Amino acid sequence: MNQSYETLKTYLERVYAIDAAIRLFEWDCETLAPKGGAENTAKIIGSLCSQYQEALIHPNLQQLVDSLKSGEGLTEAQKAVVRETGITIDKLKAVPAREYEEYSALKARAGRIWAQSRKMKDFEQYAPTLKNIISFQKKFAGYRTQEGQSLYETMIQDYEPGFDLKMLDEFFLKLKDNLVPLLKKVTESKKVIDNSFLTGDFDPEKQRQLADWLVGYLNMDGERSVLAVSEHPFTTSIHNRDVRITTHFTHNLTSSVYSVIHEAGHGLYELGIQDDLAMTLAGDGASMGMHESQSRFFENIVGKNRAFLGPVFEKICQLFPDQMKGITLEQFWEGVNKVEPGPIRIEADELTYSLHILIRYELEKSLIDGDLSVEELPEEWNKKYREYLLVDPVDDGVGVLQDVHWSQGDFGYFPSYALGNAFGAQLYHHMCRELDFEGLLKAGNLEVMIQYLRTRLHQYGKMKTSLSLIREITGEEFNPIYYIQYLNDKYKNLYWES
Ligand code: ZN
């Protein structure tokens, strides 16, 4: 046993305890906490965040990490813990404390100003704040940018280590060249799909029963996970034995169903992380994109597959016999897969989703590395929506103001969503060579698939990058062609061959 590593582990457990408390408070704020307590609780969270940062940049921790950097006598998991701790410390230390404080206060204000501007559909009110956020973000990235790297590339690598701008340019160009024409073809198809039966009056109590049933059906371990309700669905992992997901109940039945399946995908990833990594900075998903690959794999590739829907539709018919009267499994499958281009990203169908991301990628790149000004943003936004998605946002509330990300300084985050779709499709392609995918889904057997992902992907946490995981699992480099093929096959089947 390596003594220095044991000391590091003990120290990290204390640091992690603060982080876990922050996560629990954040979880509580979104689910059960009374609204009236929000302001005081925000102060508590703020104080915990400062304590967390202080603990991480403590000289003792830096010394320990330095003494272990050679990796001598450490297991692969331990090396990953040392590496990830070092990366986090470097990131925190790069920004002067005074600037960070100023920025945190700006972010708190920005959240409120953004929400207000979105409500008023008034971009001008928000523009000065957004400009401020962008200049802080550029400054912070500048502290860390390596030679030959652009600021936007530095930002991207916080979410997707290993990806450079050239790779992303090629990736998004491929999506544009293939998905824009595919969408056009789908919208011109004569096929009419009715999905009106998915909206209406669905008793929240029964929706809850369905959500609980789905969580079990997806093999989420009931001893180590829990499902709650929040306005916007999300997943929190306190550690690999306490994983929490949420859903919401609306007039749209599939909104809750696919939120549960999406978040369960994130949850299964967190539950699968090995114990050696738990409660350390390496005990998380490999990257944002890889995490999204798991949620989207379950939501779309599994969840919208006809074979999977058989037993699910049966359950839905039991719970909502009136609403499903006269509806067949075939109609249900078509209904949940209907393509409907619209202005809102979070309501997008499987085909148009990545086009929403393409637009954000192009705009972020021009805002950070290019010469697009904040003033020009709404017009550019709408222009791209008309061109790629064939829709015209009626105002900035459903246009450039719709996402919270930029107000929180999250530039470089969006590409991960589209990468996740592509990772998932490549993993799926490979999985089908080894497993009887459809047969397992038909039989309601999800465990074989989950085991496949757990042993090859989930357990490794941050030990491997997304690119190396794809390479090791599939025996090939990352290639978005599988995603494009998957979408082409799916919509051909749905829109002009059925
Ligand atoms: Zn997600």
Give the pLDDT score at 46: 85
Which residue has 């104080």 as its token pair? 47
Q: What are 411's two structure tokens?
A: 């530039």
Does residue 12 register a pLDDT over 90? yes
Burial of 59 (0-12, 13-18, 19+ CB in 10 A): exposed
Band of residue 104 on the pLDDT scale cut at 50, 70, 90:
confident
Cα(304) to centroid(ligand 1), Å = 16
Give the separation between CA 13 and CA 29, rounded to whole angstroms. 24
- Residues lining ion ligand 1 (Cβ < 5 A) are 295
Identity of the amino acid at 347:
E
Query: Could you read off the pLDDT of 364-374 as tens digits, one per residue?
Result: 999 999 999 99
Intra-chain end-to-end CA distance of the chain, in Å: 62
Give the pLDDT score at 498: 60
Give the separation between CA 336 and CA 252, rounded to whole angstroms. 11
Cα(370) to centroid(ligand 1), Å = 29
The mean pLDDT value for 68-79 works out to: 96
Does residue 18 register a pLDDT over 70? yes
Show which residues are catalytic: 263
Query: Could you read off the pLDDT of 404-456 as tens digits, one per residue?
Result: 999 999 999 999 999 999 999 999 999 999 999 999 999 999 999 999 999 99
Query: Could you read off the pLDDT of 323-334 as tens digits, one per residue?
Result: 999 999 999 999
Band of residue 97 on the pLDDT scale cut at 50, 70, 90:
confident
Q: Name the strands in the sheet holding 235-239, side by side, starting at the edge strand that comes first in the sequence.
A: 225-229, 242-247, 235-239
Band of residue 212 on the pLDDT scale cut at 50, 70, 90:
very high
Give the pLDDT score at 362: 98
Q: What are 363's two structure tokens?
A: 């705009």
From the list 308, 305, 303, the residue with the least C-alpha distance to 444 is: 308
Cα(113) to centroid(ligand 1), Å = 25
The mean pLDDT value for 92-111 works out to: 89
Give the pLDDT score at 15: 95
Cα(453) to centroid(ligand 1), Å = 17
Cα(460) to centroid(ligand 1), Å = 19
Give the pLDDT score at 42: 85
Does residue 116 register a pLDDT over 70? yes
Q: What are 38's two structure tokens?
A: 């929000």
Q: Strand, helix or coil at 290?
A: helix
Give the pLDDT score at 2: 85
Give the separation between CA 338 and CA 493, rounded to whole angstroms. 12
Query: Could you read off the pLDDT of 283-306 as tens digits, one per residue?
Result: 999 999 999 999 999 999 999 999
CA quadruple 342, 344, 345, 349: dihedral sign: negative
Band of residue 496 on the pLDDT scale cut at 50, 70, 90:
confident
Does residue 43 register a pLDDT over 90? no
Identity of the amino acid at 321:
P
Q: What percent of the chain has pLDDT over 90?
A: 92
Cα(311) to centroid(ligand 1), Å = 24
Q: Calculate the average pLDDT of the chain.
A: 96
Give the separation between CA 314 and CA 316, rounded to whole angstroms. 5
Q: What are 496's two structure tokens?
A: 């002009």
Cα(242) to centroid(ligand 1), Å = 18
Give the pLDDT score at 35: 86
Cα(461) to centroid(ligand 1), Å = 17
Cα(69) to centroid(ligand 1), Å = 33
Does residue 237 register a pLDDT over 90? yes
Does residue 139 register a pLDDT over 90? yes
Give the separation between CA 370 and CA 377, rounded to whole angstroms. 12
The mean pLDDT value for 116-124 works out to: 96
From the list 487, 494, 493, 498, the residue with the least C-alpha distance to 181 is: 487
Query: Could you read off the pLDDT of 239-285 as tens digits, one per residue?
Result: 999 999 999 999 999 999 999 999 999 999 999 999 999 999 999 99
